[in-house]
Structure formats: C-alpha cells, structure tokens
Amino acid sequence: MSTTHSPLRAKRSFHIPKLFSPKTTPITGESGYVKQETISFPVPKPEPEDFGFLELAAGADPTLDIVAIHGLDGHRKTTWMAENGKLWLQDFLPADLPNARVLTYGYDANTCNRGRVSTQTIRTHAEKFLQELSRKRQSAPRRPIVFVAHSLGGIILKQALVNSDRYADFCDILPSTHGVLFFGTPHSGANGVKHLQILNKLRSLLKKTTNNLLRHLEPNSDELENLQMYYQRVSEGFETVCFYEEYPTPTIVPRHAATLVGDRKVTREVLHGDHCEMVKFSDSSRSDYQAVLSYLVRWMKEVTGNVVDNTYPSAPQEEPPLVPKLINIPKPVPPGSRVYIRRPKIQSRMDRLLVPNGRRTRQPRCILYGAGGAGKTQLATTWIKEHKALVIVVDASSRRQLEVDLQREIRMVGPEYAKSTWEDAIAYLNNRGGWLLFLDNADFQDFKLDPYLPSSPHGAVLIATRNHNCRNYEPDGAIPVEGLTESEAIELLHTTANIKPASIGASLKIVREIGTLPLAVAQAGAYIFENRRFDSYLATLRERRYQLLREGLLKGTKDSHSAYAAFDLSFRQLPIKAQKLLKIFACFHHTRIPMALFEEAIASGFAPRTGLRSCPPPEGDETIVSNITDILCSPWDERSFQALIDAAQSASFIDTITDTSGSVFYSIHPLLQRYIQDSFGEQGIQYKRMAARILLGVAQRPRESNSWYWQLVPHIDALPQTIKEADLAHTIGFHQVYKSLGFWKDTRKLLKVALSKLQDMHGRAHQDSVRTMGWLAEATRHCGQLEDAQRLEREALAMRIELLRQRHPGSIATMANLANTLQTRRQWEEAVKLQRDLLDMYIEHFGQDHADTITAMHGLADTLRARAQWEEYINSARRALRVHTGFGGYLRDSLTMRTPDSCSSAREV
C-alpha cells in the first residue's frame, strides 16, 4: 500500500502569484485542496501499474461484483480513501457484504502533469473500461454487477453501458447490471470547467496539459445531453441512485446536474460532504456510509434471493441461468389510431411484398422507413389486423429489448421452452411457417438486425424504422413512408378535428403551414377538436408553434405522441457534427441545397468580395469561420462530409437528389426544418451567420453564367433580413448577387442600409460612400423611382468630380447613368448636353472604335431622334455608322419611320 499516492504524503506543488480577486475560489482536482492566497497544483504522476482493475476483496463464493471507477484527476485507491487512511471499499464493505467481489478501476484522468498527459477521450476511456471489465469477468460473465462511480467516472460508465448495448463483444455487461450509484456525476455539466481550461493554459507553461476530458463537461453540453438520452433507454432494467454533495467546492457539480432532474426512475439523496469528501468514509458508523450501504445490501438480497431477473437472454455459461419469476405474455400489436387515413398505394405494395403469388423461393420482407411521425407503425398494425396474421411483435429499439421480446415469445410456446433464449426463438421460427415477425422502432444506426432475422422462406418479416440504412435488409422490399398527399392530410385534419367545413381553403393553408406529416396533422386536428377554434388555429400556430407541436395529442401532455418529440429521438442519436450540419441546413431553403455550396465555400476560405476597401469581413467572423471548418473540415474532405450526410440521411432527415448534369442537391423536410429552428435558442444567430458566410464565400467566385446565382438565391432569401444587413461586408456581398439577377427591389433595400452605414462611418464624401450611392441610384432607377434616382445620381456625380475630377472613369460612368435617367424622364435638353459631353470624353479616353464610345453615340442618337431633331440625329447616326457598320440597318429603319422627307436619306443609308 506504500506505493500508492497516499493523501497523507506531502504533495509536490509550485506557486503562482494570485491572479484572481480575493473572492475568486481556486480550482482544484478531486485529489486535494489549495490555499486561497496561492494556486497549488498536486502532481500525482500517472503510473501504468495504477491503471486497470485492482481487486480489493475477492468475496466468499461471490454472487455480486461491485465495480468502482474514479473521476477527474483521481486514483483507483486514493479517491475513495479518507484522511485516516481508511479505504471503505476494502476496509468496510467486505465485512458488510462478504459475498461481494470488490473491484476498483484506474485510468489516466489527469488534466495536467510534468511528464505526460493522456490523449484519451470519454469515448475511448469507456471502450477500454469495457474491454478490461470483460476480461476480468471471463469466469462468470453473467454475475450481477453494481457500479459505484464518482464524478467523471459516472460519465465514462454511462458511455460504457450505452456501448455495451450496441456491440456484441460486450453483450453480457448491460444485462448483468443490477444497480448504479453515481456520486457527484455532472450529468448535465459542471460549473468551473471554463476556469479549469484557463488554468490549464497557465499550467502549460511548465507542464503537459490536456482538455480532452474537460471539453464535454461544460454546462448544457450537447455531448452530455445525447449521452443521457441513450442512458435512459438502456437503464430501464436496473435501478439508478444519484448522490449529490451538500457543501460547495470550486469545481461544483450543482444538484440539478448531479441528480438527473426529470428522470422519475432515479433515486436522489444528499451526502454530507463536498465533491471530494462525499466518497471518503473514515468510519463505518458514519451516516453517509450507512446510506450507501443500504442500497448495496438491498441489491445483494435481491440478487441472492433471485427477486429480480432482467429477463435478458443469456449465452451458454457455466452457471445455470436464472428462471424469471414472470408470467410470459405475448407482446400485443401496437394499438391503431382511431383516425387512421388509408394510404392505398403503400398498402397495396405491402400486399405484394408480404403475400407474394406463386411458390416462395425467398423470405418475403417489407421495410417501412421514414421520419418519426410519418405513420410507419400505423401502416404496419393496420395491415396486420386486416390480414389477421399470426404475428410476433418485438420492440427493436435496443438490443436488450429485442432479445427480451424474442425470449418471451419462445417461452410462451410451452413449459419445455421455459429456459430458452432468443437464439432458440430464431431457430424455432426457421423450422416453422405461417408467421410474421414484426420489428417495430428499429431506429438505432449502430444496431445490426441480421442475427435476429430468421431465414426461413415460410415466414415473413415486417420492419418499421427511421433508419434509412435498414433498406439494405431487403432493397426490393423497402417502402419510403413520407408525408401524406394534401387531400389525405386534409381528410385526416377534418376527421381528427371532427369538422366538416364548407370550403377546404383554410384547411389547405394549415396543412401547407405544418407539412403533411401525419402526426403533425393529427396534432393540429386534436387541438382544434379540444378548443373548437378552427378559424384562428393558423394564427395561434404561427405565434406558439413550438408549444403546439411539442404537446402530445392529449392537451397538456408531452409524450411521444407529438411531432417534435418524435424528432427528438432521432435527432439526438446523430453525431454532434451531423446535428450541427443539419442546423446549418435549417437556415437555408429546405429544397435543392447544393453540395457544391460547401465544397466551394471551403475552397474560397469563406471570404466575401465586396469591392469596397473600407468594409472587410467583421472581426467576429473569425469565430464563425472556425466553427464552420470544425464541422465541414478544411481542406475539403468529401468522405468526411459524406459521412455526416449519411448519418442524417439514415435517420430519414434529408434526401439526396442528383440532376441530369450530375450535380448533387439535398432537401430537408420543412417540418423538421422548423423543429430545428424552434430549438435553436441562443445558438440561432450563430448558425444563421454561419449559413450567410457559406453563401458569401461562394457568391463572388467568377462564373461563366448566372445559373449558379439562381441556385443560391432561394437560400439567400431564406436568411432573415437582419442577418443580411447585420454586417456591411455581408450586405454588399448579397446585393451583388441580387443585382446580377436583376432583383432590383432586394438590391435597393440592401444598398440603402449599406449607404447609411458607410456615411455614418466615413462621411458622405468618402469614395466608398459615393460608389455605393451610385449603385443605389442604379437600383432605384430600375425600380422605377426616377426622381429619387436622379437626385442620387446628381449628388454622386458632384462628389465624384470633387474627389476624382470630371474625366475620371468613375465620374464618366456616373454621368452616363444620370444621362440615361434624364432621357427616361424626358428632360431632353439636359440629357443631350450631358450625352454630348460624354461622347467627347469617350472619344478622348478610348477612341472612336471603343464599345463604350459607340454606345454613347447610340444614346445621343436616340435622344435626338426622340426630340425629332432630324438633322442633328442624321449627322450623329452617320458618325456612328462610320465606326460601326451594324448601325446602318437601325438608322435606315428609324428614318423610314419618320417623315417622307427623310426617305431619301434612308435610301442613301
């Protein structure tokens, strides 16, 4: 024991002058404390012999394994050891639970060390923990387990239990789990993590540091939220107890974070200590130890008394499997909806797949796949009831539940099958016929169904899933279940609401607003039925959409019978980067999102080109660009991007379309898009800015035609006007796209904002202000606001001349625009004067053969013709004809259309 890191030994430390105010609490790890005046860093060097499992008590004929795992900066022994040297797992438990084997697990959880730090993450630590635990339990793989986890160790344990449900190599761990004791585990994050990360930066001057374990422990972490959702699913078969600390510590785990608030199945209890003291018991008579012991004693009695068996099928093993004290009842077919609307095309195809004509040479299979709330289960149960099939219903939402249901079915056959396993159920079906195996909720992406599908052609398989990849179990039998047709959706709305309106106009608006997903339409109908407010529902929906679509079909409930709850399950299963990519998608128009948009944005560096020297991209955009590249990867990696797309597509959230040119586009269901937008919270602005920066990064790249802009415009339109106007560089960038396509109203709206900002920043006479004023004048003229355009052009011309001189190309261009406006407003005299001056300048600058010179000749000739100044017009036209022979036909036609006296001139031409 002398080789371990005893808390009684002096800690090596160094001191840094106090950097924080006297009120600032210093940050410590689990292994010790520091004084207020200085920051002292304990430096336990991680030793390889301290990692892995250590058996603290072998147990007499053990019937239970108690497995402890420490937390951040902890140690497999000292984390649990009191100041008097008592290690309760070793010194107290064996006397109180003599038939328990006690193991403690060590891993490198140090965030700072003089020599080295681990590069492992929560996921890789969890994987290693499972591997070590499986090896340690090889002689008794199904012996019941109770886990004891402190702080970060609880997060690693949760990840390990989730993984054990997914991977066959660890399939014995979860069904053997009888209970879990969490001590101060930050289920939803811990306060002080940011300070620890800052402190690590200071430490890195002298030591090795890592934030690999800290980065997911911040409050409201997406990673922790997703992990908790998975844990709730896999923990249904055992008891969870959460202990929380009574006294605050620097790195505090608040009560709400340590107790899984909202999970009704969890037991919560306070311990009279701080975050470190709560797992150190100096005496077995202490009330805290007795509280912990009470759960362990009860669970030991349950295990030895065979009170509970998880009804989880067991693989062949040395010990005889426990026979569950349950009455085996076949799982019923899920109830159908009272307002089910027939979908004849899908149902007739199900008939052809599941009841084929002629001799069977292969097993009939039908896979119904689509987003949550699309009606897959309703289609399946309706078909089963109409065909009176001999059905075996299994819940495939997890490996555990699927195997439990298959085991239940085989044990229903007769007493001789009382100890049969799920493997026996599959073998039984392979030797029988006339059955239909219905796998509902087969949604998890990492869960392979192959071992659970019988191969006999004399039965049939029906699968309902959100997982797009399940099509591979029978590609020819896969049926996409999407939204209803508009007529079907209206029928469902009227049936659910119990109304018969004289016209379908209002109903059609509602259906188009919420989409045609059956569950969402049924929710709308249920609300109308309860509130009798059909006419005002659409306005209420637009005002309180999140609340209405989050509520269940029964008013006031928030259960699985709501569209948003259905989306929750699939969305939170996705990898974090796939979730973030979908959040960017939700900021675009929901259809025809080009893959090239992301590839070219990466190549461009997301840099908008404004043409104005005084408006570079704002400084805050560096963070935005960093966030985008974190999601998309830079340089462009098509394989990584496709992996995110595959994840989103496998959950039936997006569709991929390839057009005739080979270009790839994505679309997202409009209701899912609204669901994501409604769940943005404070992150909404950031994701909209990310979408804007992606669009701007590709908008200004040189193109041979405007076809690319036509692809971008719907997505630019989808951005809020406030985002397009938020930054001057973005405003100018978006105006250039609109201008190139002739969308003058949108161009003018953006330029008015841009000009106001430029004039506030630099004054009216600044060259960028003047240039933008010219752009605004042009857009104003195209919008038909000629008087305003003329005013702007005069002001811009005066400033151009003052800044640049009259014969500068910029001044000449502004003069040409003013001349065109004057001509359009029939202010002939001034127009002619300006056009003559322009023509002289063009000839002087460019010569008579230049295209701009010829255009100026045309303009002057047009104005003279409009004023019927024929002599001057003919002279001007002949002048143009000498340098541009193509002008002859135009001149001849013009003369012929005028007076008879001009006919001779026309013949001359």
Among residues 561, 598, 571, 603, which one has the least CA distance to residue 668? 571
Q: What is the pLDDT of residues 161-207, one digit of tens each?
A: 988 877 767 878 988 899 999 998 888 776 554 444 444 444 443 44
Q: 495 vs 237, which has greater pLDDT?
A: 495
Among residues 400, 373, 546, 379, which one has the least CA distance to residue 466? 373
Cis amide prior to 186 (ω within 30 degrees): no
pLDDT at 715: 95
Sign of CA dihedral 419, 421, 423, 426: positive
Say whether pLDDT at 44 is over 50. no
Helix (H, G, I), strand (E, B) or coil at 506: helix
pLDDT at 807: 67
Cα gap 729→713, rounded to integer Å: 18
Q: What is the dihedral of CA 332, 338, 343, 349, to 10 degrees?
A: 20
Radius of gyration of the chain (CA): 37
Q: What is the DSSP letter of 375?
A: S
pLDDT at 41: 37
Q: How far is CA 826 from CA 186, 384, 594, 867, in A?
A: 76, 78, 46, 9
pTM of the model: 0.65
Cα gap 721→717, rounded to integer Å: 8
Q: What is the pLDDT of residues 841-888, one digit of tens each?
A: 776 776 766 677 667 766 666 666 666 565 555 566 555 555 555 444
pLDDT at 590: 93
Where residue 577 falls (left for φ over 0; alpha for ψ -120 to 50; beta otherwise) is alpha
Range of weakest confidence among 51-55, 785-789, 826-830: 826-830
Mean pLDDT, residues 787-801: 83
Question: What is the strand order of the sheet 460-465 is part of?
Answer: 391-395, 436-440, 460-465, 365-369, 478-480
Most confident option among 203-212, 298-307, 492-501: 492-501
pLDDT at 81: 93
Most confident option among 1-5, 212-216, 747-751: 747-751
> Domains in the chain, please, with CATH?
52-303 (3.40.50.1820), 344-480 (3.40.50.300), 486-570 (1.10.8), 574-701 (no CATH)
Report residue 230 as tokens: 């998975």
- Output the average pLDDT for the chain: 78
Range of weakest confidence among 84-93, 334-343, 729-738, 739-748: 334-343
Q: What is the pLDDT of residues 748-771, one digit of tens each?
A: 999 999 999 988 888 888 888 888
* Alpha-helix residue ranges (DSSP H) falling in 557-616: 563-573, 576-585, 595-604
Mean pLDDT, residues 610-635: 77
Cα gap 614→844, rounded to integer Å: 32
Most confident option among 243-247, 384-388, 876-880: 243-247
Q: What is the pLDDT of residues 107-155, one digit of tens each?
A: 987 765 555 566 678 888 899 999 999 999 998 888 999 999 998 899 9
Q: What is the DSSP letter of 24?
A: P
pLDDT at 878: 57
Q: Number of C-alpha atoms within 13 angstroms, CB side, residue 188?
A: 13
Q: Number of C-alpha atoms within 13 angstroms, CB side, residue 341?
A: 22
Q: 530 vs 428, which has greater pLDDT?
A: 428
* Alpha-helix residue ranges (DSSP H) falling in 97-237: 122-136, 152-166, 173-176, 193-203, 222-234
Mean pLDDT, residues 436-455: 88
For residue 58, give the amino acid letter. A
Q: How confident is the model at residue 564 (pLDDT cuts 50, 70, 90)?
A: confident
Is residue 887 exposed (0-12), middle (13-18) or buried (19+ Cβ within 10 Å)?
buried
pLDDT at 902: 41
Q: How confident is the model at residue 610 (pLDDT cuts 50, 70, 90)?
A: low
Who contacts 225 (Cβ-Cβ below 8 Å, separation ≥6)? 188, 572
Say whether pLDDT at 581 is over 70. yes
| CA angle (159, 162, 163) in 5-degree steps | 85
pLDDT at 181: 96
Where residue 592 falls (left for φ over 0; alpha for ψ -120 to 50; beta otherwise) is left
Q: What is the DSSP letter of 58?
A: -
Q: How confident is the model at residue 793 (pLDDT cuts 50, 70, 90)?
A: confident
